[in-house]
Amino acid sequence: MKKVAVFGATGSIGKQALDVIDKLGWQVVAATAGSNLHLLQELAYKYSIPQIAVRSLKNELADDLVKRNKLISFAEAIEVAKEKADVVVNAVSGFAGLEITIAFSNTSKRIALANKESVVCGGKLLKGVKAEIVPIDSEHTSLLMLSEFVKRPYIARFGITASGGAIRDVDNPRDLSAEEVLRHPNWNMGAKITVDSATMFNKALEVVEACWYFDVDVEDVEVVLHRQSYVHSFLRLVDGSLIFAVSDPDMRFAINYALTYPEVRGSFRKEFNVNGDMEFCRIDEEKYPLFFYALDKFKSYGESAMVALNAADECAVEDFLRGSIRFGEVIDRIIDVVERVELKQEFTTIREIEEFDKYVRERYKETFGK
Ligand SMILES: NC(=O)c1ccc[n+]([C@@H]2O[C@H](COP(=O)([O-])OP(=O)(O)OC[C@H]3O[C@@H](n4cnc5c(N)ncnc54)[C@H](OP(=O)(O)O)[C@@H]3O)[C@@H](O)[C@H]2O)c1
């Protein structure tokens, strides 16, 4: 039985991870949240998790929990995980997840990494570290699975699919509200990634993620729009043939494989049935300008472009979810801020990345206020 620590346990991925871990019969030694102590406590009770922590404490119930040594500090949770866990699931959303990945990067643990911002913003620091980093993302986890079966010299390109998010059938999405954009047609995910799915910034993050995991250039990663989200990824072989990874759109497949890799096992199983068509088409440049813009910047400026884009995206999406701007402005604001900052930074420490992230957020606030 393996021992697991789950960071971001109250989120969409975190809750599904607890379910998958439970079905595997493994034990959760510690779990954390940002601030939702109420839900974290419920989950701790449901899954018999001995110790929990939140990043920021807003709850008066805490005293009693602290006395019972149930609620520990965030730093202590990292120590408990270092001491007791074989696997760390990082399901924290956004840039905040990088610090957690870095904290475990020089341990001999597996980091099952949903927090894509970690490798997108801190990829250079995470190359060659002692920890084994395995992706939790339907595209990358299935690519990992496919690449277990095909020898590397036979692979010409790595392919991932995009659903197109909530705007794919909307002619003019600029005026959409958060409520409308949060109605994702295929996936039930956290709010931030659901908006990023509609701007397709999420897909740009995933291309960069694929470059990191499979050691390839942007040109070696192909993206196609696939409405049904049955096909998550594909390999294009040197002879022109294609191998697809297909499953229901259910993140538990990816979580399960990231935990048990390279084995394919677990009590979590589903019969897959294709009902209806499977469509594939190119990404429309007019509809998804941020996808093309982000990858152009990445090609020219590397990681510093991704840190800037990600920081601006987090600020703009927060404003959008709060209702202060409409969908089109999310994209306008990100591009505006990224155009204002110097993108030629080379990062050698996490502090430098954090400083640059902070600098970009300040430019955002300066430009658009709070
Ligand atoms: N959802 C998906 O299907 C999916 C698929 C692939 C990849 N991912 C990636 O997985 C990550 C998590 O996504 P999600 O959709 O599960 O997000 P989510 O539902 O918003 O959950 C985020 C989790 O992180 C915690 N958190 C937020 N800010 C934090 C901070 N500053 N410090 C510590 N913990 C913090 C939240 O705690 P509170 O509940 O207290 O706020 C929550 O537990 C993202 O990087 C996303 O891109 C998600």
Residue 96 CB-density burial (10 A; 0-12 exposed, 13-18 middle, 19+ buried): middle
Atom of ligand 1 nearest to the CA of 205: 47
Collapse the DSSP code of 90 into the 3-class scheme (helix H, G, I; strand E, B; otherwise coil) and give the result.
Answer: strand
Asked whether the predicted pLDDT for residue 58 surpasses 90, the reply is no
Pairing state of beta strands 51-54 and 27-33?
Answer: parallel
Asked if 201 contacts 309 with a C-beta cutoff of 8 angstroms, the reply is yes
pLDDT confidence of residue 265? 83
Cα atoms found within 13 Å of the Cα of residue 72, Cβ hemisphere only? 19
Q: For residue 232, what are its two tokens?
A: 């998550």
- Ligand 1: residue of 36, 54, 92 to mutate (most ligand atoms within 8 A of CB) is 92
Q: Tell me, in angstroms, the distance from the centre of ligand 1 to residue 35's CA.
A: 12
For residues 27 and 2, give the distance between their C-alpha atoms in angstroms, rounded to a whole number: 6
Q: Would you tell me the crossing angle of helices 191-199 and 327-340 to the nearest 10 degrees?
A: 80
Nearest CA owner, ligand 1 atom 31: 96
Q: Which of 84, 88, 108, 110 is nearest to 97 (CA)?
A: 88
Mean pLDDT of the chain: 94
Q: Tell me, in angstroms, the distance from the centre of ligand 1 to residue 277's CA.
A: 32
The contacts of residue 370 (CB under 8 Å, 6+ apart) are none
Residue 277 CB-density burial (10 A; 0-12 exposed, 13-18 middle, 19+ buried): exposed
Residues in the chain: 370
For residues 3 and 81, give the distance between their C-alpha atoms in angstroms, rounded to a whole number: 9
Asked if 181 contacts 200 with a C-beta cutoff of 8 angstroms, the reply is no
Side chain identity at 94, as an amino acid letter?
A: G
For 112-139, how does the pLDDT look when each residue is reduced to its tens digit (9 = 90+)? 999 999 999 999 999 999 999 999 999 9
Confidence of residue 61 (pLDDT cuts 50, 70, 90): low
For 173-183, how does the pLDDT look when each residue is reduced to its tens digit (9 = 90+)? 999 999 999 99
For 163-200, how does the pLDDT look when each residue is reduced to its tens digit (9 = 90+)? 999 999 999 999 999 999 999 888 888 999 999 999 99
Collapse the DSSP code of 352 into the 3-class scheme (helix H, G, I; strand E, B; otherwise coil) and give the result.
Answer: helix
Q: Which of 200, 140, 217 is nearest to 165 (CA)?
A: 200
Nearest CA owner, ligand 1 atom 28: 34
pTM: 0.96
Residue 268 CB-density burial (10 A; 0-12 exposed, 13-18 middle, 19+ buried): middle
- Residue in the structure block whose two tokens are 């119930």: 61
Q: Which of 70 and 20 is assigned the larger pLDDT? A: 20
pLDDT confidence of residue 59? 62
Q: Which whole number is the average pLDDT over 311-336?
A: 97
Asked whether the predicted pLDDT for residue 204 surpasses 90, the reply is yes
Asked whether the predicted pLDDT for residue 370 surpasses 80, the reply is no
The contacts of residue 157 (CB under 8 Å, 6+ apart) are 220, 221, 222, 235, 236
Q: What is the dihedral of CA 81, 22, 255, 152, to 10 degrees?
A: 90
Give kind and range of the element (H or E) at residue 160. strand 155-162
For 233-284, how does the pLDDT look when each residue is reduced to its tens digit (9 = 90+)? 999 999 999 999 998 889 999 999 999 999 998 766 667 777 778 899 999 9
Q: For residue 228, what are its two tokens?
A: 């049904």
Select from 3.20.20.70, 3.40.1210.10, 3.40.50.2300, 3.40.50.720 the CATH code of 3-135: 3.40.50.720
Q: Tell me, in angstroms, the distance from the centre of ligand 1 to residue 74's CA.
A: 16
- Residue in the structure block whose two tokens are 């202060």: 324
Domain boundaries of the chain, sorted by first residue: 3-135
- Ligand 1: residue of 6, 13, 208 to mutate (most ligand atoms within 8 A of CB) is 13
The pairs formed by 210-214 with CB atoms below 8 angstroms and a separation of 24 or more are: 210/139, 210/140, 210/143, 210/158, 210/160, 212/119, 212/120, 212/123, 212/126, 212/127, 213/119, 213/135, 213/140, 213/143, 213/144, 214/143, 214/147, 214/158
Q: Tell me, in angstroms, the distance from the centre of ligand 1 to residue 318's CA.
A: 14
Q: Tell me, in angstroms, the distance from the centre of ligand 1 to residue 82's CA.
A: 21
